[in-house]
Structure 1
Amino acid sequence: MAALFGRPSVIEHLCALLPPHMRPAFLLALLSASLASTALRAQRDTLRLDTVAITATRIPGTLERVARHAQVLDHRTLDGAARPEVSELLREHTAIDVRQRGPFDAQTDLSIRGGTYDQALVLIDGIPMSDPQTGHHLMDLPVLADALERIDVCYGGASRTFGAGAFSGAVNLITRRPTSDRGSLTLEGGEFGTWRLRGMQEWTHNDLGMRLTAFHGRSDGAVANSDQTRTGAHLGATKQWDHLELRGQVGWTGKRFGAQNFYSTAYPDQQELTRTLLAAVELKHRGRWSWSLRGYFRQHHDRFELFREGDGYYRFDNGYFIRGNADTARFTPTFFYTFHNVHRTQVFGAEAEVHRAWIAGTTAIGVHARDEGILSNVLGTPLHTPVPVHGSRDPYTRSDGRRNLAIHLDHRYSWKKLTIEAGVLLNLNTAFRPEWLPGIDLSHVWNGHHTTYASASRAFRLPTYTDLYYNRGGAVGSLDLLPEHGDQVELGHRFRSGRWGATVSGFSRRGRDLIDWVKRPGETTVRASNLTAVDLHGIELSLQNTSADDRTLIGAIYAYQWTDREAFDFTSLYVLDHLRHRLSAWGERRVSRFSLRANLSWQQRVGSYVDLNEGVATSYPDNFRVDAKVSWHNGPIQLFVSGYNLLNAEQMDRANVWLPGRWITGGITVTWNKGGEHDR
């Protein structure tokens, strides 16, 4: 320690002042700063700053001046990913808590900075993918990594930028623009009856480009009732004029998966089927006056079977679900299970925004209108006439809807190396009171390598229809729920020099009226409730380097979080169920025709769950996972082998849902290009 930092007495004194559980984060921060300073001295002549305008603020800006912890996963990171799912990319390279109930995105929840799965927002080219039914459907995406140019990650409340869904942060998936008449086809297979096929094709003509990606795959699963099938396709088109750009996209995805113990251990043999349709169009003008017009539509179908119907499971017979000759699905001896949950949500949205650069800076003003509706047989108020559901015995018998209007005003002013941005968003909703969401960001670029930033903002989230209406299987929602709020402050420092990059940030969020599902002592029912206040604090550190020959890439990111209240006098399902520590390190090395990509992740979760076998409160196990991919390239051919959880470690992200052990797959990718050149 003395040799590394040079002043052991100061370091030891500071460590002594900190609680023991915070000392590793403090020492890692000092180590990151030391490495960054060394890199700066070694590479003063190789300065390279990102010039891509990222989408972490209303007024686009480069990463250098963004006044918050923002992260960009570029095409160098996405290409050759060990696994093509967006969730795996986020798990490998970000500080996001990616909570999985199975591999291959069977169902994945995102938790950003200790938030719940309902508090994170995912967008595709700025189109929000949030579902008013539940945040569990947020990652029902029609795209994989090969459809993306980059991923912008915005840590912390971003309601001023993205609206109501971005309570704890946002992830914006930027799709690739067509550049040539090229394509690819990948066939992959492996253990547990796994096989997948995915392809991509681009077409270009003058200023018009189109890009089609599609995928299909299935698996028997590593344990009983974990089989799954998933299909998706996405078509994007772009047309360019002098100062205008027209973009359109349409995407569809469907999946069916066994959901063993997903939502209840009392009824373990569950199944879920979902379908998502997305369509959007955007017209954008660039100039001194810049403006954009956008419209979108998202429809989601969900069929949840608490008692799985099908061969080897339950069959429907004369109004009841029966397994074999004796077992009839029921909640109590006299309360029978007689229908599956079916839901359909539809969201229409339109957005207009204008930017104007003038002598006092840049001003942006915009409006976003959104209409959300649901048809269901569980959620909403009763319909006068049931609506038939295609392919289902169970009609929609309930519905609800709400309209939302968000108006925002932002202004950015730069003076020398200082940038100040302030703004406010007014949110009007037909079901809840108006909300004012102000925020201010400051950043200072010191010498082209270092940026110090600070921000303060307010975020909020509306209750989902599940929060409001659900009443089945021992879980009860509440129509008395209020929107939840969070006031956040953040202070950080960003370093970039040559091929080195590092970030250190700290944040504090005061949450009010947080929505959680809780179980009181002596009760068996879980109820949706507003918690009074929970304060959450955290530190995030990241470091990345790319070699001069671009053949070696290494990086690491670490997050540490704690709350002012680690326990209540009741059981909390989500709010207190966050990560304490998360560390992810990755590396890639290319040698001749071979490439090796590896990722190591470790995380420690606070909170507890009731163990299925023991029946007592049990702490979550630490998750430690190693994944790797080895590839061989020869012209248009690539052969690869991927390993998931190579050390066969026990893993659990959700209560009583164990994730698979070691899982090996391999495959081949063929690429082609009209011009005769092949992708690497």
Structure 2
Amino acid sequence: MEHILQKRIPCFKRWSRKGWSVFASLHRYVKIGVLAAGMSILLLATRGASAHNADTTAVLRTLRIREVGITGTQTAPVRNARSHTPLFDRKAFAAEPVQTLEAALRLAPSVDIRERGGKGAQADISVRGGSFDQTMVLLNGIDFTDARTGHQSHALPVDLDCISSVELLDGLPGVGAFAGAVNVRTAPLRPTYLRFEGAGGQYGYAYANLSGAVTEGRLSVLGAASFRRSDGYRHNTDFSNCNAYVRAVCEAPRAGLFDFQAGYQDRDFGSNGFYAAYNPDQWEHTATALASLRWLRSAGRFSFGASASYRKNFDRYDWTRGTAMNRHNTDNVGARVWSDYDWAAGTTSLGGDYAYNHIFSTNLGEKLDTPHGRYTHADARHTGNLWLRHEKHWRRFDAAASAGASFTPYGRAALWSLSGGWRPSEAWRVEVGAAQSMRLPTFTDLYYTSPAQVNNLGLRPERAVTVRLGAGYSRGCWSASADAYYRAGRDIIDWVWYDDVPENPETWRGKWHSEQTSRLNTFGIEFSGSYTVQEGFLRRVRVSYGYVTTDRNADIVARSAMDFMRHKAALGVEFRFLRRMSFALTGSLFDRNGDYTAYPVAGDSSRTETRGYEPYFLLDGRLQWEKGFCRLYVDATNLTDTRYCDLGGIPLPGFWCTAGVVLTFGR
């Protein structure tokens, strides 16, 4: 190969996932002898991840090219303790029997998925012993958490084929990520392709998805649209879900990198017992539109970034299907600016963000003097954060610290995080971190009232300090990780039950009251390991285990704080045979803490029973054949036809079989 530069410079003979982030730290030109062509420029677009964690699934082939000069490009700064726990990887899960994001995250030891219906019709995402309201939800690093209720936060308009990975970001100080943040990252399967998937099965299930991408020079566009529906596995559990999503990334030589995404979701579902277990005739319809634009620009030792986002959510809830009871219309607006400076002592980041949340509702917020269309109540709030962060890498060590302030309607609060890492060898890494976090009461926490619930306008933010210790090993076909964490939470918000006795306030007797009278200390450990090879009969084995326990300082009856997933274990195996066939099995064991009120007779709330959550085991399988552009599969979930529930005694589907075809054209 011809030498372009005369002076002696480092030379790398192969483009490797393990160490390409070294380019950003050398501050000099690097000679590349072999380069993978077709790498997506989306690798630089995710704010929530380090460069070395970028998705490389868009790499198609290796070509010998003429030597070129390359400089490192800084990703956006992150207000966290630099801890990124993988929850889902598209390549690792390609052969497994998962069709929705909820099904994939069920296998992660850090996540508690509490479903109310099948195939992701309605579910809550909680992490590490927290509640669904205590989990921040990001899409490509943009915060799209809903301020009305965490029930709507993870309703993102993206399907599994567009999701390249999902990770848990630990230690984000500030508003929202009390227990952690789940970051969903999207990327095309290939630089240029067209993909169609169609599936059908029991209970009138049907699914159709059309997606594709186009990459031309510095521009890459990903688009997808899908429709999923079912008649339901029991009375009033039918659903339909439409998604549309587009992401465009363009890197201009002088203007910088622009990352735009937009999506729309429309779904409705029968809600048999979803929010009141004795009522089988509830129904809900939601519509969500979201969009964001991010800009990144490097100039010498400086890098700059800015982003703006918007999420609109409509929700209609019927106590009796066909008769609207509650309607909500929420707006969530966000903006962020930041700058990095790379110097001899490390990298220093300075930034700030702003969020505006507004709601129109039939029962949440302050009562309006004049109704706004259907809505009789409204409320709004403004929040902001400022932060300063510094990180330093030295040989096998790294350290980072951040400090800042949060500004909310409840006053100012200090923010901080500390982290450190040590890599004793190429295969091992040990890290430790501590951070402060908080979340504001949702509009539902503050205002929701019903014949069985009493609201509380005096709620204030929840606060916590979390300490985490982790270790990871990766060498050849083996990988393993272990994590331990302790979270000291105070001013925990929950719905508390008051018996109908004279000792309790008269207006609260026999009702749930929203309050924060306790501290909640949570301890957890997680283990995971995998064995992966590219050839042979046994291709992949993955095991994981998670344990959570809490120590509450108040003897009260709470609705959700004590219903955490105490034990969770999962095993996945993949076999390849007859050249083009594969068979994957996943088995998972769940043991939930707590109990719930059961209603033996549907529609009759006068007869109740208190039941504890029973452990259950789920076994899923996928048989798949693939050749060229065509792939056929048969999925069977809950092969043992286990009867189980995640929340309030709501029965979830038994055995459910589906089959599908995937056609992918492109390069």
TM superposition score category, shorter chain reference: 0.7 to 0.9
In 1, distance between residues paired with 2:45 and 2:533? 27
Question: Could you tell me how far 1:473 is from its partner in structure 2?
Answer: 3.7
Question: Could you tell me how far 1:538 is from its partner in structure 2?
Answer: 1.0
| 1:469 aligned onto 2:447 | yes
Question: Are the counterparts in 1 of residues 232 and 238 from structure 2 also a CA contact under 8 Å?
Answer: yes
Residues 4-36 of structure 1 deviation map (CA, whole Å, 9 limit, x = unaligned): xxxxxxxxxxxxxxxxxxxxxxxxxxxxxxxxx
Question: Could you tell me how far 1:631 is from its partner in structure 2?
Answer: 1.1
Most deviating of 215-224 and 288-297: 288-297
Residue of structure 2 equivalent to 1:305? 318
Question: Are the counterparts in 2 of residues 252 and 277 from structure 1 also a CA contact under 8 Å?
Answer: yes
| 1:612 aligned onto 2:599 | yes
Question: Could you tell me how far 1:426 is from its partner in structure 2?
Answer: 1.2
Question: Could you tell me how far 1:306 is from its partner in structure 2?
Answer: 1.2
Most deviating of 270-279 and 636-645: 636-645
Residue of structure 1 equivalent to 2:378? 399
| 1:589 aligned onto 2:575 | yes
Question: Are the counterparts in 2 of residues 189 and 196 from structure 1 also a CA contact under 8 Å?
Answer: yes
Residues 479-529 of structure 1 deviation map (CA, whole Å, 9 limit, x = unaligned): 000100111111222112122211112111111000011102333211111
Residue of structure 2 equivalent to 1:128? 143
Residue of structure 1 equivalent to 2:369? 384
Question: Are the counterparts in 2 of residues 78 and 145 from structure 1 also a CA contact under 8 Å?
Answer: no
What code does the residue aligned with 1:594 have?
A: M
Question: Could you tell me how far 1:270 is from its partner in structure 2?
Answer: 0.6
Question: Could you tell me how far 1:571 is from its partner in structure 2?
Answer: 1.8
Most deviating of 248-257 and 348-357: 348-357
Alignment of 1:31-430 (within 5 A): 49=18, 60=50, 62=52, 68=83, 70-71=85-86, 73-154=88-169, 156=170, 158-160=171-173, 163-177=174-188, 179-242=190-253, 244-286=256-298, 288-309=301-322, 340-388=325-373, 395-429=374-408
Question: Are the counterparts in 2 of residues 69 and 505 from structure 1 also a CA contact under 8 Å?
Answer: no
What code does the residue aligned with 1:276 have?
A: T
Residue of structure 2 equivalent to 1:35? none
In 2, distance between residues paired with 1:537 and 1:341? 38
What code does the residue aligned with 2:581 have?
A: F
In 1, distance between residues paired with 2:214 and 2:390? 39
What code does the residue aligned with 1:427 have?
A: S
Structure 1: gaps (5+ residues):
1-46, 310-315, 317-338, 389-394, 676-680
Partner SS for 1:468:
helix
| 1:534 aligned onto 2:520 | yes
Question: Could you tell me how far 1:413 is from its partner in structure 2?
Answer: 1.5
Question: Are the counterparts in 2 of residues 132 and 372 from structure 1 also a CA contact under 8 Å?
Answer: yes
Residues 199 and 506 of structure 1: CA distance in aligned 2, closer, same or farther (over 3 Å):
same
Partner SS for 2:320:
coil
Identical columns (%)? 29
The two structures have a TM-score, normalised by structure 2, of 0.84
Question: Are the counterparts in 1 of residues 46 and 185 from structure 2 also a CA contact under 8 Å?
Answer: no
What code does the residue aligned with 1:60 have?
A: S
Most deviating of 178-187 and 254-263: 178-187
Residue of structure 1 equivalent to 2:7? none
In 2, distance between residues paired with 1:72 and 1:50? 22
Residues 127-173 of structure 1 deviation map (CA, whole Å, 9 limit, x = unaligned): 1121111000012110011112222222x4x332xx42211111111
What code does the residue aligned with 2:144 have?
A: M
Residues 517 and 294 of structure 1: CA distance in aligned 2, closer, same or farther (over 3 Å):
same
Partner SS for 1:630:
strand
What code does the residue aligned with 1:603 have?
A: F
Question: Could you tell me how far 1:295 is from its partner in structure 2?
Answer: 0.8
The alignment's C-alpha RMSD in Å is 2.3
Partner SS for 1:131:
coil
| 1:494 aligned onto 2:472 | yes
Question: Are the counterparts in 1 of residues 433 and 467 from structure 2 also a CA contact under 8 Å?
Answer: yes
Question: Could you tell me how far 1:589 is from its partner in structure 2?
Answer: 2.6
What code does the residue aligned with 2:411 have?
A: R
- Count the aligned residue pairs: 588
Partner SS for 2:106:
helix
Question: Are the counterparts in 2 of residues 56 and 153 from structure 1 also a CA contact under 8 Å?
Answer: no
Q: Which of 425, 435, 453 in structure 1 is aligned with 2:413?
A: 435
Question: Are the counterparts in 2 of residues 48 and 497 from structure 1 also a CA contact under 8 Å?
Answer: no
In 2, distance between residues paired with 1:568 and 1:51? 51
Question: Are the counterparts in 2 of residues 71 and 153 from structure 1 also a CA contact under 8 Å?
Answer: yes
In 2, distance between residues paired with 1:370 and 1:534? 28
Partner SS for 2:105:
helix
Identify, as 1 or 2, the structure richer in helix.
1
Question: Could you tell me how far 1:470 is from its partner in structure 2?
Answer: 0.5
Residues 303-342 of structure 1 deviation map (CA, whole Å, 9 limit, x = unaligned): 0111211xxxxxx6xxxxxxxxxxxxxxxxxxxxxx5100
Residues 198-228 of structure 1 deviation map (CA, whole Å, 9 limit, x = unaligned): 1112223332221111110210111101010
What code does the residue aligned with 1:598 have?
A: L
Structure 2: gaps (5+ residues):
1-15, 22-42, 55-79, 501-508, 601-606
Question: Could you tell me how far 1:74 is from its partner in structure 2?
Answer: 2.8
Residue of structure 2 equivalent to 1:646? 639
Question: Could you tell me how far 1:66 is from its partner in structure 2?
Answer: 7.3
In 2, distance between residues paired with 1:663 and 1:126? 34
Residues 48 and 300 of structure 1: CA distance in aligned 2, closer, same or farther (over 3 Å):
closer
In 1, distance between residues paired with 2:620 and 2:188? 30
Residue of structure 1 equivalent to 2:529? 543
Residues 552-590 of structure 1 deviation map (CA, whole Å, 9 limit, x = unaligned): 12212211111123x954321111110110112222233
Question: Could you tell me how far 1:434 is from its partner in structure 2?
Answer: 1.1
In 1, distance between residues paired with 2:125 and 2:187? 23
In 2, distance between residues paired with 1:355 and 1:94? 34
Most deviating of 235-244 and 642-651: 235-244
Q: Which of 549, 556, 567 in structure 2 is aligned with 1:562?
A: 549
The two structures have a TM-score, normalised by structure 1, of 0.83
Residues 277-321 of structure 1 deviation map (CA, whole Å, 9 limit, x = unaligned): 011111112463122111111000000111211xxxxxx6xxxxx
Question: Are the counterparts in 1 of residues 542 and 571 from structure 2 also a CA contact under 8 Å?
Answer: yes
Most deviating of 258-267 and 396-405: 258-267
Question: Could you tell me how far 1:72 is from its partner in structure 2?
Answer: 5.5
In 2, distance between residues paired with 1:226 and 1:165? 31
Residues 656 and 554 of structure 1: CA distance in aligned 2, closer, same or farther (over 3 Å):
same
What code does the residue aligned with 1:269 have?
A: D
In 2, distance between residues paired with 1:60 and 1:666? 37
